[in-house]
Amino acid sequence: MERERKVIGALIILLAVLWLGFVVHRAPRFPGSLLGGLLAMFGAALMVLFSLAYMVVKRVPNLKRRVSEHFSMGQLLKWHVYTGVIGAILAILHTGHRFESDLGIVLTASMLVAVLSGFVGRHLLALTSVELREKQRELSTLETAYNEIVREHFQRTVPADALTDDAVLGRFSRTFRFLPRPFPGSVHRAVQITDAIADLEYSIGSHHRFKRLVSVWLRVHIGFSVAFYVLLGLHVWSSIHFGLRWFD
């Protein structure tokens, strides 16, 4: 994941640099040339075909089950990310920095927003999920340690068979968490663990809220992607309607 983040990040920077190239470079006839047309076709194929294939496989259970026998969804998502960014780079090269028509400007803007929102959403969601799993494992470990301290502390004053009752142990545990401080030994350690548990529970709640926010961000990515596909279709239609001059 770290390697993928670095590679995609470098490609995103390259995409931004190429887009900003219109400040110093303009090639008005390049988009309609043979080379410009080939770049457009390859770029569109990479962005559209792989993206649509990924979305269809992800949302059709039978197809997803068959494809998963050969490729994991994580691998398909990685291909979707790489082909989307590389396709966008080819599309920017195709423009020759000729941002003159309203359709071309809006199409380029929707493409850039779709690529950037997908990159940000993908890696923010991945980082949040990893951190959330780590905190949940740490919380489970602390709760286990806390329950062990409670069991050891009360085993001299409570019958052994009562300690096997989860309800009894839970009552002692809740009482134990609100004892005044300071206490020596295991009791003080239990109080420290309760503080750590409270902090982790708050942090996990914050991660869940942030994860929901990132999910909204991914819906923004899908919305701009759909808008991009529609605008791309209009761009292709207008190019064919007004005539191709690849061999002029």
Whole-number Å distance between alpha carbons of 218 and 39: 28
**Residue 244, pLDDT score:** 65
Q: What DSSP character marks residue 22?
A: G
Residue 16's nearest CA partner among 85, 104, 82, 107 is 85
pLDDT 10s digit of each residue in the chain, 248 long?
667 778 878 888 888 888 887 777 777 777 777 888 888 889 989 888 888 888 888 888 888 888 888 888 888 888 888 898 999 999 888 888 777 778 888 888 888 888 888 887 777 777 777 777 788 888 788 888 877 777 776 665 545 454 445 554 455 555 545 444 444 456 667 777 778 888 888 877 777 777 777 777 778 888 888 888 999 888 888 877 776 665 55
115, 85 Cβ separation under 8 angstroms: yes
| Residue pair 28/22 in contact by the 8 Å Cβ criterion | no
Neighbour count for residue 172 (Cβ, 10 Å): 19
What is the pTM (predicted TM-score) of this model? Answer: 0.67
pLDDT of residue 163: 46
Q: What is the 3-state secondary structure (H, E, C) of 23-81?
A: HCCCCCCCCCCHHHHHHHHHHHHHHHHHHHHHHHHHHCHHHHHHHHCCCCHHHHHHHHH
Listed by start position, the domains of the chain span: 2-124+221-241, 135-203
Of the CA atoms within 13 Å of residue 208, those in its CB half-sphere come to: 8
